[in-house]
Amino acid sequence: MQREPQQSVWDWYQQFSHDPADEDQRLSRNFFRRATQDELSAFRDEFGDILPETYEKFLLEIGSGYLRQDLHSKITIYQYNEFLSLKEISSILGGGCRGEISANVIVEGEAPFFLEISDSIFVVDINTMDIHYPFVSEMKYADSFVDFITKLMTDCEFYVQS
């Protein structure tokens, strides 16, 4: 029986997933720490259902963290490639900052989820599920969160303009 392509992508990411209490020992180029259901519930209580269901599932089953090496062993040196935690998303949306990133760069209907470099994030449009930079919706990088993680798995710098 053949698996769905999405499941293969999910399985690849899960090999880097760790329990919420695990500390990153910096032994791997890829490291994700799973969120808890309590963390997700607290986030929803504060912000509502602004994250795509697929990203919520990703946070619970795989986690937030970074991807520095792709399926083909390409290593990114300059990109952060960090999937934001619920705490980091809360900080940005709640008026706090993450480096140069603050809530004023996020428009209504967008949710930040991925840090490219220190002051550059990707957002998901919660109506269309398109992935793009804030304020640049016409420059779409993926049609959905699953499309985004699939592209990232294959090329950890797919979004970098040549």
pLDDT digits (tens, 9 = 90+) for 111-124: 999 998 767 889 99
Question: DSSP string of the chain?
Answer: -PPPHHHHHHHHHHTTEE-TT----S-SSEEEEPPPHHHHHHHHHHH-S-S-HHHHHHHHHT-EEEE-B-TT--B-SS---EEPPHHHHHHHHTT-EETTEEGGGPPTTEEEEEEEETTEEEEEETTT--EEETTEEEEEEESSHHHHHHHHHH-TTTTS--
Q: Is the pTM of this model over 0.95?
A: no
pLDDT digits (tens, 9 = 90+) for 113-156: 999 876 788 999 989 999 998 877 778 999 999 999 999 999 99
Domains of the chain: 5-16+29-154 (3.40.1580.10)
